[in-house]
Chains A and B, each alone.
Chain A
Amino acid sequence: MSQQGYVATPPYSQAQPGLGGYQGGFGSAPAQPHYGHYGGAPPPATALLKPPVSSGTGLPPHPGSGPYNPNSQQNGAPMQRYPPATYSQPPQQSYNSMASPAPPPPMQLTNQMGTMNLGNYGPVQSAPSATSPVAQQPFRGPPPPATAQPSMQHQMGPAQPPMQHQMAPAQPPMQHQMAPAQPPMQHQMGPAQPPMQHQMAPPTSMSMGRPFPGPPPPAAPGGFHQPGLGPAGPPGYPQQTGPFMGGHMAGPQPGGFPGGLGPQPGPPQKKLDLDSIPSTTQVIEDDQARHGGQVYSTNIRGQVPPLVTTNFTVQDQGHASPRFIRCTTYSLPCTAELAKQCQVPLACIVKPFARLPNNETPLYLVNHGESGPIRCNRCKAYMCPYMQFIDGGRRYQCAFCSCVNEVPVFYFQHLDHMGRRVDFYERAELSLGSYEMVATLDYCKNNKPPKPPAYIFMIDVSYNNIKSGLVRLICDELKTLLDKLPREDGAESSAIQVGFATYNKTLHFYNVKSSLSQPQMMVVSDMTEMYVPLPDGFLVNFQESRALVCNLLSQIPDMFTDTNESETVFAPIIQAGVEAFKEADCSGKLFVFHSSMPTAEAPGKLKNRDDKKLVNTDKEKTLFQPLKGTYEQLSKDCVAQGCCVDLFLFPNQYVDVATMADVPSHTGGSVFKYNNFQVDTDGEHFLRDLRKEVQKSIGFDAVMRVRTSTGFRATDFFGAIHMNNTTDVEMAAVDCDKVVTVEFKHDDALSEETGAFIQCALLYTTVGGQRRLRILNLGLNCSTHLSELYKSCETDALVNFFAKSAYRAILNQPLKNVRDILVNQTAHMLACYRKNCASASVASQLILPDAMKVFPVYMNSLMKTAPLTGSTELATDERAHQRLAVMAMAVEDTQLLLYPRLIPLHNMDVGSEVSPTPVRCSEERLADGGVFLLENGQALFLWLGQASPPDMIQGLFNVPSLAHLQAHMCVLPELDNPLSKKVRSIINDLLEKRPRSMKLHIVKQKDKPEMMFRQFLVEDKGLHGGTSYLDFLCHVHREIRQLLT
């Protein structure tokens, strides 16, 4: 029994120095007293310097087990590694070393059988399904006939949640199929190089978790994960050139399986039971059930947080909230070799301005006085809970570089008997994972205190925007919106200044100084060297100049009523914004409302370079690449001045988003795009975006530095950022939805005892014009065992990383390479798991680590996204737009984007407070008689089945039947009945929660617009190419098997 791969995790069978180290690491942390209980931990002062040697045997084998007193102490929160719920099962048993034959509860087992064993759809539905994948799979490479029969298995995590018990019926016979544990052959085989990989030029890059290194030479596509080729490749990986080399070919032989998986092509695929493959909605539900509504305390290093989709409350107890930082894995491999072997990217996703729910404490503000924040002399890390005070409190040792620093006199404090500072609880920087610090003048530009930032609204008043009514819409909205500018906590009014400019091929500044009797308009026609024609009066306090601003906003639409100017400029207006900020000596944000490609004679003039012929060629990447030159420099200028650019595009045709969005995407800005904008259908949608964008909390002129403890370092950064050097992440602005994804690499071996620390320090200017530092600290575990790593993986974060790295890679590589890389890396990660962590099983079984069991569905979905789909039917601008949108996306947003919520509305309880549970994104879940809401953060659909209940239609739309429904509706009528109210409230909640507004599309089943809707059913086959989830799994499985042979 225990041999089953999912139970008996090989790593645990080995000696576990990591666990000892784990403790040691904690011992060094300020929270150590806490661990004092812990098997007689060594005195903290020495712990860091000299990690206690633990035999492993003398220590509790599992972190989740007993020694952790769930309710122990000072930090006041339970310290459990896993939520108490898991304790309902005796986890220790399953985690005990392999040798211990304790069988897992049969229930659990059988569950897994049911879920995992695809081959045995068989048992359930006896027809072998394998044929269809063969027929359908677009993946190239000759699949060995039998590989088409994947059998899957979850590697159950140690804390197999009880919910899984609810899963499909047990299939006891299946167990026999599973191979006995530890087949020696596995080791011998190593992962065979699949043929595809060999086609790729072997690059020099050894990067593991980084499939798309920087801009690689175009001639070396796919320069990633070549474990067999790398000099440091594990010895067990013979470099194979043939697909199935080696005597121990483990590839399943045709007919070798009872399922009779002949490669016969043809018969249309029989519907497989979706329930038998890992379900994202299920995982989300499970996690919600486990952690939902609970308090999550960040007092344990390396603890994996609940999923992003789960509602939980964070209590900061020494590590930054997962809302601020999320890692792809919370247990780093100790060595570069291990990291390379598993190919799991090591990254963290930082969202420095993450919104905190009301019940969580806002960040404390630490003020260290005139001398500024206390920092390590050597590595400049800021004072944080990981600093170790020694020498009676007179000195402290930096957790990041081990440098011993003097404690400044004013900061001196005695240590208590546990070596902890007496003022531990009084100082946020000693007890919390995240906090803010007051920055002194040294941290300000030119050593001058910053001025409050400004918002400039630049409105394109060319023919299109006037005609569509957009200009009037914006102007009217601004009159009220400007009262809601973000302000400093506790401030009476916003310190943000506002400025207004309009433009077509000339630029018009407005002087709305409060002392004037009427606004003044200043036209600048010289586009070659932009400048601001007035030193004051352009940027004003809205409250002071309200009358003039309102007067101006009322006049702007009228002033241009008769315009027939259709040419616009673009780069100069951004330049103008930069100059305005420069003149005012402040940072700020430009809101640009732009209609068309800038074709007027001016710097940054663009021309149509949309060439569908390039799709699916090696040159496709040029469609995504911004034009070099003007805009590049402009981005630099913007960032240098702290000028963030938000671009609202209202195009009627191709506008070269790739180039136009270049500046926003380097300055912490966002790009919004409203195709064929019409006020009545898109107006509200746009205004919602505008309101969110204006009101959201934001920091300006920011520089982020990610410091790590020795042994690894941040090597690559993704986001709406600008990098002048390799370490400083510069952001003109960073708002509550923007994230920076940071990739790490090993420099050296990490120690299991000390673990690994990350400190993100963000220096920025608040909306009130104060210079602050936001410090986010996180401790991670380190392990020499890959199983630890796999166990601590965070799929959503992984997917976020993969999405960004893939989207960056398409700038430099053919799409096909990128997709292949994604598939290969997926396969590789899983193969490595199987090889190193899973217990022996039949090769035909697909074994997935528990933490990553829905990973493939995301990867598959990612490959079906518009940027990665080489289809001429997709608009180039759309693809470019989505590509850029993802680059700064948060984990929850990529999760939602890649796995939309499909919410059934037809059978919900109208009276209930909660919204219905989403179902899997598959056509199968749709019902003719159903009504579904689908959203992915970008689009929102209300899908009406052909046979939707008339009373529902009546309730929602006040029309007797579907046939009476108007086409192109984008808003639900406000009807006074429970159903309508409920649905509208669900929609409003969604719109409220998401960073962006979504336009509501109402689609009827079998109607033409339904196509749009269908492409979001990510488990199905893609509309523009791309496989279904099931086929993808099969394909990955095949790859894995090739790797393992």
Chain B
Amino acid sequence: MATYQEFIQQNEDRDGVRFSWNLWPSSRLEATRLVVPVSCLFTPLKERPDLPPVQYEPVMCSRANCKAVLNPLCQVDFRAKIWACNFCFQRNPFPPSYAGISEVNQPAELMPQFSTIEYIVQRGPSAPLIFLYVVDTCLEEEDLQALKESLQMSLSLLPPNAFVGLITFGRMVQVHELSCELISKSYVFRGTKDLTSKQIQEMLGLTKPSVAGQPGHPPAPQDAAASCRYEGVATPHLLLSLSELKLFLKVPLFKMAIVSSLIFRFLQPVHKVDMNLTDLLGELQRDPWPVPQGKRPLRSTGVALSVAVGLLEGTFPNTGARVMLFIGGPPTQGPGMVVGDELKTPIRSWHDIQKDNARHLKKATKYYEALANRSAVNGHSIDIYACALDQTGLLEMKCLSNLTGGHIVMGDSFNTSLFKQTFQRVFNKDYNGDFRMAFGGIMEVKTSRELKVCGAIGPCVSLNSKGSCVSENEMGVGGTSQWKVCSLSPSTTLGIYFEVVNQHNAPIPQGGRGAVQFVTQYQHSNTQRRIRVTTIARNWADAQSQIQHIESSFDQEAAAVLMARLGVFRAESEEGPDVLRWLDRQLIRLCQKFGQFNKDDPTSFKLSESLSLYPQFMFHLRRSPFLQVFNNSPDESSYYRHHFVRQDLTQSLIMIQPILYSYSFHGPPEPVLLDSSSILPDRILLMDTFFQLVIYHGETIAQWRKAGYQEMAEYENFKQLLQAPLDDAQEILQTRFPMPRYVDTEHGGSQARFLLSKVNPSQTHNNLYAWGQETGAPILTDDVSLQVFMDHLKKLAVTSSA
């Protein structure tokens, strides 16, 4: 088994891929009987410090509908300089540049260790990165001040050649012109009027050349050229590059020429305007419109976003761009309005939604979905930074980020370290000093002919690319073999689901392997275009004769996350209980398939090691906020789900089943069961749920701490004990994005609920005396404990009627 674990680990490290099954059942029928589909978690931009990109173009299969990239699995005839595509079996000659290859002189992409390889392609000029800040000004003074500071600070974090723009909104939407020296100038839009992209561009003067003469210092084409020169591009080059841009951006040349002279009013290179913009941000005032008693401020989030999307659409289509939306409350007017401005009508709750009582929900969701799709088409991603105590409409707006790969960050206030640090972390850099973000990703999946792709779940949209490897059976976002991921980070992980299509009666030749190739094109944060190709292969196994092998190839962690993603995906459109029922049924079926038991004898039930943890994951998943809406607002649910469907396996698992460390004088810190029995008076617990980081001091520890023993020299060890979880927490806080909510609590503290709600309620007020021990802490809940869950599962699994 160890071998499989090593294999899995090795594969993940190298390719960023975790398959649910590492041996594939060789026929469709068998595959469906395995319950958990052949599927994988794929991290397209997994950080590979050991993988320097190659500086040439990939060699592609010449078959028009294949275009698979040359990879180590291909058969190569070095003498004839021919390679055979392992997906379509087309024989392709090598390009002239490969004339020198031989067995001993192989290009990187043919070496097995380069099953993942990255190419830098030189196609056209590099487009700048664009950051468009869309800032809500209906904030409390303190919040606005904090936000302004964060934004000003962020200017120093941006790549100097990146373009920035600023849109502010409240009752009105203002697009700020950045080049004005003496007078700050902005274009104003009414927050209640839904405008088409064309109208927006007209109103911004982006469509007519003569607008160059408009107020301010209109950038003549020379200016535009000058702006580009800062990026090290000489003027003649720019002119040349414009024509290339045309091809690249599919925009008519004349339009580009015009646009290039106009866009500079609203989007400018950071290094050129950082002073101006810093001042501009500094002068930002709270939305000046008076807010009457009993009303919410009028917040035109919908129009602001529409203007932002329209602006980018008109100026930089198909270029990497981030729209960063900062909101301090729900949209209250115009298209995309989530709640009216009357304070007496509260924002929708799950209860309202279930009662079909959320007036604006459908309309607003539809509106934001349309915007998100437009934005996705143009390759622009939208981040939402929502900081408010109440809901801000993330439920309606989540698609903006979900479909475009943007971030959602939710906090209580912009004046919290949670927001400030998270926001700062958006601009984190990797070991090369490049931003951990990539844009305009297009991920394509190619499969060998026994396999078809059903869909993907993650921050992506379908590109509707139908091909031979697309299954009719959709799971997640399906019906395509290409997905657009507008913004990618090294941790962005998609769940990809496959279907074995090989018929039962068409056995696969001995030693045949199924292959999957992921081709991800993207714009690197240093503006290069790159293509990363990952090619993986798995052996086929006959499910009848080799079921044990298949069973042992089961990656229960991956499977749990992949099933959870399916569940979450369903939860977006289905009723919660239905999803739970579906999950339960899958679990039971899996147990029936792989469990060892005597019929109708629950006690005889056993699961092999490779599946043993799986039911426990499912138990916690059922209790998780991804599927349970109880105690969560719709916004919170959306927020949790948003992060769940994009994080990598480790983080996802933490989300499903938080990890709990225990600190005591009895030994080094150890992970303990996420169980109420772990809550002991003389322990300090550190729980990481991904979203929260809870340090819980047991009753005794808390008393000691209160008494101040840690201050005394003779209790130095106590001080160290107290410090240990803090240090560990700090480590997690440093790396996690978004920054988790940090909770330091103790026995009986109100915030202890974070811990109590997560642990398995093995001791509750119902069974406390039955257990009769003073170990652990009872949880006041009616939720079933893992033990009860397992008992039920066993019973159901072994019944013959199921």
Contacts and interface: CB of A to CB of B under 8 A. Distances in A.
Contacts of A814: none
A102 interface: no
B11 interface: no
Contact of B186 (A521, A551, A559): A521
A602 to B, nearest CB: 12
A526 B194 CA distance: 11
A555 interface: yes
Interface stretch (A168-176, A532-540, A846-854): A532-540
Of A461, A502, A564, chain B has the most CB atoms within 10 Å of the CB of A564
A508 B183 CA distance: 12
A533 B183 contact: no
Contact of A535 (B199, B202, B213, B289): B289
Contacts of A560: 215
Interface string B173-185: 0100000101111
Interface stretch (A512-520, A944-952, A1017-1025): A512-520
Contact of B288 (A519, A525, A535, A564): A535
A518 B203 contact: no
A526 B203 contact: yes
A510 B184 CA distance: 10
Given A525-B203, A564-B210, A518 B184 contact: yes
Interface in A546-582: 551-552, 555, 559-560, 562-565
B185 A563 contact: no
A559 B188 contact: no
A531 interface: yes
A565 B213 contact: yes
A523 interface: yes
> Interface range on chain A: under 10, 10 to 19, 20 to 34, or 35 or more?
20 to 34
B483 to A, nearest CB: 37
B786 to A, nearest CB: 58
B243 to A, nearest CB: 27
A537 B187 contact: no
Contacts of A565: 210-211, 213-214
B218 A562 contact: yes
B213 A508 contact: no
A473 interface: no
Contacts of B171: 535
Contacts of A521: 180, 183-186, 215
Given A522-B188, A531-B190, A533-B174, A559 B183 contact: yes
Contact of A536 (B183, B187, B218, B288): B288
Of A526, A551, A564, chain B has the most CB atoms within 10 Å of the CB of A526
Interface in A133-154: none
A370 interface: no
Contact of B184 (A520, A524, A536): A520
Given A536-B288, A560-B215, A523 B182 contact: no
Contacts of A518: 182-184
Nearest to B173: A533
Nearest to B203: A525
Contact of B188 (A523, A537, A563, A564): A523
B185 A523 contact: yes
B213 A534 contact: no
A518 B280 CA distance: 11
Contact of A526 (B190, B214, B290): B190
Interface string B279-298: 00001000011100000000
A516 B283 contact: yes
Contacts of B172: 531, 533-534
A292 to B, nearest CB: 56
Nearest to A515: B285
Interface string B199-219: 100111100001101111010
B307 to A, nearest CB: 11
Contacts of B182: 518, 551, 555
Given A516-B283, A517-B283, A519-B183, A524 B188 contact: yes
A680 interface: no
A1007 interface: no
B205 A525 contact: yes
A545 to B, nearest CB: 14
A712 to B, nearest CB: 50
Contact of B183 (A524, A555, A563): A555
Nearest to A516: B283
A510 B180 CA distance: 14
Contacts of A564: 210, 213
B429 interface: no
A562 B213 contact: yes
A873 interface: no
B590 to A, nearest CB: 59
A555 to B, nearest CB: 6
B193 interface: yes
B154 to A, nearest CB: 23
A522 B215 contact: no
Contacts of B202: 525
B187 A523 contact: yes
A508 B186 CA distance: 9
Interface string A990-1025: 000000000000000000000000000000000000
A529 interface: yes
Given A517-B283, A525-B205, A535 B290 contact: yes
A1004 B564 CA distance: 99
Nearest to B188: A533
A520 B185 contact: yes
Nearest to B215: A559
B131 interface: no
B163 interface: no
Contacts of A536: 288
B21 interface: no
B189 interface: yes
Of B184, B204, B205, B290, chain A has the most CB atoms within 10 Å of the CB of B184
Contact of B193 (A522, A523, A529): A529
Contacts of A537: 288
A565 B218 CA distance: 13
B186 A520 contact: yes
A532 to B, nearest CB: 9
A561 to B, nearest CB: 9
B215 A508 contact: yes
Contact of B214 (A524, A531, A555, A563): A563
Contact of A522 (B186, B211, B214): B186
A562 B214 CA distance: 8
B186 to A, nearest CB: 5
Contacts of B216: 559
A509 B187 CA distance: 10
Contacts of A551: 182
Nearest to A552: B183
Contacts of A533: 172, 174, 188
A130 B70 CA distance: 116
Contacts of B188: 509, 522-524, 533
Nearest to B185: A521
A390 B270 CA distance: 85
Contacts of A563: 213-215
A298 to B, nearest CB: 50
A555 B283 CA distance: 20
15 contacts: A461-B215, A506-B214, A516-B283, A518-B182, A519-B184, A522-B187, A523-B215, A524-B188, A525-B203, A535-B171, A535-B289, A555-B183, A559-B183, A562-B213, A563-B214
For the complex of A and B, the 8 pairs showing the least CB-CB separation, nearest first, are: A525-B203, A533-B188, A564-B213, A521-B185, A523-B187, A563-B213, A522-B188, A559-B215
Interface of A: 461, 502, 506, 508-510, 516-526, 529, 531, 533-537, 551-552, 555, 559-560, 562-565
Given A523-B188, A559-B183, A559-B216, 5 more contacts: A510-B183, A517-B283, A519-B184, A521-B185, A564-B210
